[in-house]
Every structure is written in C-alpha cells, then in structure tokens.
Amino acid sequence: MCWCFEASLSAFIVGVVVALIWGLYFKEWITLPFVLSYLQMQLTDAVLWLQNSECNKTNQITMFIGMTLLWSQPFWLIICLRYTGPKENRLRLQFPFWYALAFWVLFTFSTTLGTFFPEQFPGHTTSTEIFAGKISCGFKGPMGHLMWESPRRHGGEWYPSNYVYISLFFGSFFFHQPIQRGIFHFVWFFISHWVTFYKANFTNESGSFWCFVIAIQAASKILIIIFDFIYKKITKNHNQFIWKYIAFPRSENLQYKDRKQQKNK
C-alpha cells in the first residue's frame, strides 16, 4: 500500500512479472491464484489512491473487492499446499480446506452486509474516528500510508477474527509434506510479515505495508532463480534443495498420470 499511486501500481506490475518468471522457470502455476490474491492488494491500493481519501462509491466498492480477495488468501494457499507434493497432502489438508472456504464465505457475507446494508446494523462502527459512521473506505493515514476501514460491529459479531486468518495461513504449512518445505515457507512468509508489521510499528497502518511483503518475496524469488541458474551452469544439475523444498512441484498423482500418458504414446 506503499506511499502513492505510482508505487502501488509499480509493486503490482513487478509482482506479476516476477510471478510469471517464477512460474515459467519452475513450471509452477498452481501457486498463481495465491500469488495473485497477494498482488491484487497493490492494484486495489492504486485505485484507492486515485480517490484522494474521498469515501465515495468507487472507494467503497474497491475496498469491498480488495478485502474479499484479501481474506481469500488462506483458501488459495491451502489449494496450493493440497495439490503439490505427495498425494497424501489432499487428505491431510482436507479439514483446513473446508474451514478456510467457510471462513471466506462468512467474511464475504458479513462484509457485504456492512458495505451495502449498513442501515440494518445500528451497532455499525469503524476502528478509527476519521470516518466514524461511514462504510468501508480506504484513506491516507497519519503516517502517510493507506489505511483500510472495513465495516464491523461492536464486539465483531459479524466479523471473522484476524486470528482465524493468521492461524489458517501460517498453520497450514505444518500440514504439508514434505515438512521441510512447509517449514521453509512458514519461516519465509513469517519473516516478511513480521518485518512488515514491525515497520508499521503495529499501528492501524500495518496493513499498508504489503508492498514491503511483496518486495521481499519478489527480490528473494529472483535471487533464488539466479542462484539455481548459475548452479546449473556450474554443476550441470539444478540445486536439489531449491527444487525439493522451495518450489512447489505438481502432486505425485498428477505426475503419475503424465508418466502413464507418455507410456501410452
């Protein structure tokens, strides 16, 4: 969510380019929906910056779309974890999959009510006084970054907890096999998220530092690709740690089908 329209749009474009390079290099496309659920936040921000903190209809609808896609991230992550690695991952992640889907649906339902039917909920409020009494909007905060105000009621009766998002997002890595890959990506995402919140001093603008998360992820992915490319040039083989524990190969059952099709030919 960066500092301005140009920074947000640039972060989105760079993130998409890196995601496509990563997908082409590792033949890893199953992660793309999850990656796009991350990158869309910068595109959402770019639109919000154009509104100049005016809580108009475009601002509200953009916020609604952005928040809905944001809270879909655990679902798309679990899709990635379920359908890569050993086929047993499909069973291991079955409950988190349905839980994340129900969580996403509940969030979309509650956000729809708060955004489009706020008059039905007299307890409707926002977490700051800047747009008190308004529905969901994005605006420039005290630190100069975008703040996202989402509709909620006192006590959060209609609003899924942030802790559910965090537990689904980070907890899912430990259901994935091989566990080394799950642990690596847990640490990778945890560090980038922790740096983000630390940079924001744990204020209401912490969500506005997603551009830092994307920058860390994009830079590290480019470095990984460069390292593996050079490694292969020197040793004539790909780095096994990267291909086994960092990249997400397609699940064994799909690989088996590919081998079977090749034999039939």
- The percentage of the chain sitting over the pLDDT mark of 90, rounded to a whole number, equals 9
Q: Tens digits of per-residue pLDDT, 80-133?
A: 888 887 888 888 899 889 989 988 888 888 778 777 776 655 544 444 333 344
Rounded Cα distance, 235 and 220, in Å: 22
CA distances for 254 relative to 88, 238, 261, angstroms: 13, 22, 11
58 pLDDT tier (thresholds 50, 70, 90): confident
Q: Is the pLDDT of residue 73 over 60?
A: yes
At 129, give phi and psi (nearest 5°): -95, -5
Q: How much is the pLDDT for 245?
A: 86
How much is the average pLDDT of 213-242? 88
Give 258 or 19, the one with higher predicted confidence: 19
Range of the domain at 231: 5-264
Rounded Cα distance, 211 and 262, in Å: 43
Q: How much is the pLDDT for 229?
A: 92
Q: Tens digits of per-residue pLDDT, 155-172?
A: 444 455 677 788 888 888
Q: How much is the pLDDT for 101?
A: 92
Report the alpha-carbon angle 142-144-147, nearest 5.
75
Give 201 or 101, the one with higher predicted confidence: 101
Q: Is the pLDDT of residue 44 over 80?
A: yes
Containing 239, the helix (H) or strand (E) segment is none
Is residue 116 helix, strand or coil?
Answer: helix
CA dihedral 194, 197, 202, 208 (to 10 degrees): -160
Round the average pLDDT of the chain to a whole number and report it.
76
Rounded Cα distance, 45 and 40, in Å: 8
At 225, give phi and psi (nearest 5°): -65, -45
Peptide bond into 178 cis (omega under 30): yes
- 250-255, long-range: CB < 8 A, 24+ apart: 250/30, 250/83, 250/84, 251/83, 251/84, 251/85, 251/86, 251/87, 251/89, 251/90, 252/85, 252/86, 252/87, 253/87, 254/83
pTM of the model: 0.79
How much is the average pLDDT of 42-46? 85
The count of structural domains within the chain is: 1
